[in-house]
Structure 1
Amino acid sequence: MGAWAELLRVSALFTVPGDALAGAAALGVGPNRGTALALGSSLCLYEAGMALNDWADRDEDAIDRPHRPIPSGRIAPRSALTAAAALTGAGLALSAAAGRRPLALATALAATVWSYDLHFKHTRGGPAAMAAARSLDVLLGAVATGTAAAAPVPPETRISGGTGERAARAATTTPTARAALPGAVVMGAHTYAVTSVSRYEAHGGSTLVPLTALAATLGLGALGALEQRTAKGSTASARLLVTALAGAYVRTAAKPFLHAALNPSPPLTQRAVGGGIRAMIPLQAALAARAGGGATALAVMALVPLARKLARKVSLT
C-alpha cells in the first residue's frame, strides 16, 4: 500500500477537488450531483496521470530516482500501466454519468494527460499541456454542475401559466460554463509556472524559471485581490475573504520559488514545486470565494491541514 501511495502521490490528491468546486461556484450554483461526478472523474484521471507518469519515466527514474516504486522493484511496470488504464476508464465512466458534455470534456482531459506523460513532458510543450489539463478540469466541474442544474421541470410543477412552472423553469435554467473560463485560465497559468519549475527538480540549475514563477504568483495573487475590491455588489466580508485567500496563495508559493531562484539546487527546486502544488488549494478557494461561493471556499481550505499531514508521509513530487 505504501508503494502505491507513493506511486500515485496521494498527498497531491487534495489539490484536485477544488477544481470542480471552483468551476461550480463560478456558475453561481451550489455543488450538486454533477459536481460530485466531475470531482470523482477528476480524481481518477489525476491518479491515472500519476501512474502513467512513473511508467513512462521508469528508465529515467532508474538513474535519477532509483528509490521510486517502479525502479526499486516494488511495483511492476505492467501493474502501473494497467492501473493508469483502469483509472482512466473509471474517470470517463463517472463523467458519462454526468452527461454528454461532461464526457466530452473528460475525454479531452484524459487525452491531454496521456499526451503529456507519453510525449509532451520532455518537450517545450510540456508546461502548456499540463496547464491545459488543469483548465479543462475546472471547466469539467462547471459543465457537469450546469448539466445537473438543468434538470427537467418536474411534472407536478407544470401548472400551465402558474407560478409553480415559472419558478421551476427559472430554477433549472442552464448556467453557462463561460463564467468558469477566467478561473480556468488562472489555474492554467499557475500550473504552467509550476510545471516549468518542475522540469529542473532532478538537476536544478535554473534561476530564471523559478523567478518567473514567483512573478506569476505575485501577479495572480494581486489580480485576484484587486478584482474583488473593485467588484460591484460584493460585501466587505466577501472582499476580506478573497484577499485573505489570495494572501495565503502567495505565501504558500512565493517563498519556495524565491529560495529556488536564489539557490537553484535540486532540493530547493523540489521544494518550490511542492510549494506550487500546495498553493493550488488556496488559489482554488480564492476563485470560489471571488464567485460568491464563500462556503465552498472554506470547504476547499479545510483540505489544507489534511494535505499537509499526508505530505509528511508521501512526497508531493
Structure 2
Amino acid sequence: MNTPRPATRTHHPRPAHLPPPAPRPATAARIRAWAELLHAPALFTVPGDVLAGAAATGRPPTRRTALAAGASLCLYEAGMALNDWADRTEDAAVRPHRPLPSGRIRPGAALAAAGALSAAGLALAACAGRRTLALAVPLTATVWAYDLGLKHTPAGPPAMATARALDLLLGAAATTGTPRPALAPATVLAAHTLTVTLVSRREAEGGSSAAPLAALAAAGALTAVLAGRRPTGTLLGRHRPTPAPADALPTALAASYATAYARPLAHAVLNPSPQLTQRAVGGGIRATIAVQGALAARAGAPATAVLTAALAPLAARLARKVSTT
C-alpha cells in the first residue's frame, strides 16, 4: 500500500517591482531606540569637520580623508552612546522617555556600543596615517573624559569645544600629514561649539536667559567672521576689501548659520523654557553644518562647501522624527 506524498509547495519569488515587506514592529521600535540613543540627526554635522579641515590645506580630499571621516563618525557616535549611559540616572528623573531609562535599550548595550565605536574609530584613524591617529587618540580621550566626568564641571564646555577642534584637525592631518593649516578654522568651530555646549547645560530645566544671550552675541560675531571679505583689490597701494564672486558662497552660508542658530537663541532669551532652550541647542547643532561649509568656502573649496551644506536639509528632515538633543 503506497503512502501518499504530501503536496509540494511551489515557491513564488517576490516580484522585483514590489517593495520589500515592512519591518516587524519590534524591529522598527528597536531601530528607533538606537537612532534616539545615537542622536541620529546630529550625525550629519560630523563629516563637515573633516572636510573643512581638508579644505584648509588647499588639497583635494583623498582616500585617507575618507578614512578620517569614518573615524570621526565612529568617535562621535561613541560619545553619543556614552553620554546617555553616563546620564541614565539623571534622565530617569527629567527625561524618562530616553532609550535607557525607558528600558528600550539596556545600559550594558549602550556602554558596549561606545567601546566598540571608539575602537573602530581609532582603527580607521590608524589606517589614515600616523599623524591622524596621533590626533584621534586625544580626541577619544576627550570624548570619554567629557561624558564620564567633565560634563557637569566648568571644564565641560571647553572640553567639548576641544573635541570639535581636534575633529577638524583630523581632516587636515589625514590629507597632508600636518594639522597646522587648519588651526584657524578649528578655532572658529571650537568657538561655535562652546556656545552650544554652554546653552545645553540648562536644556533640561531651562530658566536662565544668560547663556542664550551670550551665545546670541557670540553667534553674531561668528557670522561676521564667516562672512568677512578678503582683501582682493588695491587703491593707492593699500588693500581695499572689494566684493568677489567667490565671497558670495561663504556669505550665504554665514547667513544660513545666523538663521538656523540666532533665531531659536532669540526665542530662548525671551522665554528660557526647557522646550525653547532645547530648540536652541538643536538649532546650534544643525548650524554647525553651515559653519563647516562657510569655512570650506573661505578656504577656496566651493565644491566641498556645497557638499557639506547639502547635509543640512537631511539633518532637519530627520530631526522632525528623532530629537537632535
Give the Cα–Cα distance (whole angstroms) in 2 for the partners of residues 254 and 19 of structure 1: 21
CA contact (8 A) 2:195 2:218 kept: yes
Give the Cα–Cα distance (whole angstroms) in 2 for the partners of residues 11 and 125 of structure 1: 26
239-248 or 114-123: which moved more?
A: 239-248
Q: Percent identity?
A: 65
* In the alignment, structure 1 residue 80 sits paired with structure 2 residue 81: no
Aligned to 2:42: 12
Give the Cα–Cα distance (whole angstroms) in 2 for the partners of residues 192 and 9 of structure 1: 19
Q: Give runs of aligned pairs for residues 14-29 of structure 1, distance below 5 A.
A: 14-29=44-59
Instruction: List alignment gaps of at least 5 residues for structure 2.
Output: 1-30, 234-240
* In the alignment, structure 1 residue 256 sits paired with structure 2 residue 264: yes
- Output the amino acid matched with 1:137: D
- State which structure, 1 or 2, has the greater radius of gyration over its C-alpha atoms: 2
Aligned to 2:231: 230
Give the Cα–Cα distance (whole angstroms) in 1 for the partners of residues 232 and 225 of structure 2: 12
* In the alignment, structure 1 residue 275 sits paired with structure 2 residue 283: yes
- Cα shift at 1:234: 9.3
Match for residue 194 of structure 1 among 193, 196, 203: 196
CA contact (8 A) 1:257 1:272 kept: yes
Q: RMSD between aligned alpha carbons?
A: 1.3
Match for residue 185 of structure 2 among 178, 183, 189: 183
Give the Cα–Cα distance (whole angstroms) in 2 for the partners of residues 110 and 93 of structure 1: 12
Question: Residue 51 of structure 2: SS of its match in structure 1?
Answer: helix
CA contact (8 A) 2:164 2:189 kept: yes
Query: TM-score of the superposition, structure 2-length normalised?
Result: 0.87
Question: Residue 315 of structure 1: SS of its match in structure 2?
Answer: coil
CA contact (8 A) 2:77 2:117 kept: yes
Give the Cα–Cα distance (whole angstroms) in 2 for the partners of residues 94 and 71 of structure 1: 32
- Cα shift at 1:177: 2.5
* In the alignment, structure 1 residue 242 sits paired with structure 2 residue 250: yes
After TM superposition, what 4+ stretches of structure 1 lie above 2 angstroms from structure 2? 228-235
Match for residue 298 of structure 2 among 285, 290, 294: 290
Give the Cα–Cα distance (whole angstroms) in 2 for the partners of residues 235 and 30 of structure 1: 26
- Output the amino acid matched with 1:28: G
Give the Cα–Cα distance (whole angstroms) in 2 for the partners of residues 20 and 231 of structure 1: 28
Aligned to 2:158: 128
Question: Residue 67 of structure 1: SS of its match in structure 2?
Answer: coil
Give the Cα–Cα distance (whole angstroms) in 2 for the partners of residues 294 and 252 of structure 1: 21
After superposition, the C-alpha distances for 1:71-114 in whole angstroms (9 at most, x for unaligned) are 00000000000000000000000000011110010011000000
- Cα shift at 1:224: 2.0
Give the Cα–Cα distance (whole angstroms) in 2 for the partners of residues 248 and 70 of structure 1: 35
Aligned to 1:58: 88
Instruction: List alignment gaps of at least 5 residues for structure 1.
Output: 148-175
Query: TM-score of the superposition, structure 1-length normalised?
Result: 0.89
